[in-house]
Structure 1
Amino acid sequence: MDRQSVRSSNISSIGYDEKNEILEIEFLSGGIYQYLDVPNYVFEELMDAESQGKYFNAYVKDNYETTKIR
């Protein structure tokens, strides 16, 4: 999955598979996680957020089934 680099103190890059509703996040720590059944609007709001880290913690983390990729 292609990811876009972001400026964040915790997140390195973010990608989204619209067809399968999979949000993929690479953290600065090196971990890569996929969040399943994430609606497109959540991805768009995450990318547009003033702070991706704060948005992630409030609306993504612990709200979607998660798979660790690396």
Structure 2
Amino acid sequence: MEKEYVQSSNIEAVGYDKDTETLRVWFLNGSVYDYTGVGQLEYEALRDAPSVGSYLHQNIKGQYPYEKVD
């Protein structure tokens, strides 16, 4: 999955697989999480948000299943 680097105090990059509707988030602390069932428009809104961290917290976390990637 291709990384798209973002301006954030908490998030390094985001990526998206449209075939599986999986959003991947790389955090600056080294953690990586996959969120499933995320539509492409939702991904683009996250990527382009003025505050990527705030958008993730308000619109992705708690709304989509997720798992930590090793």
Where in structure 2 are the equivalents of 1:14-53 lying within 5 Å? 14-53=14-53
Q: How much does 1:19 deviate?
A: 1.1
Q: CA RMSD in A?
A: 0.7
Paired residue total? 70
Matched residue of 1:62: which SS?
Answer: coil
Corresponding residue for residue 6 of structure 2: 6
TM-score (norm 2): 0.95
Corresponding residue for residue 58 of structure 1: 58
Which contiguous aligned blocks of 4+ residues in structure 1 show a shift greater than 6 angstroms? none
Identity %: 39
Q: How much does 1:67 deviate?
A: 1.0
| Structure-2 separation of matches of 1:53 and 1:33 | 13
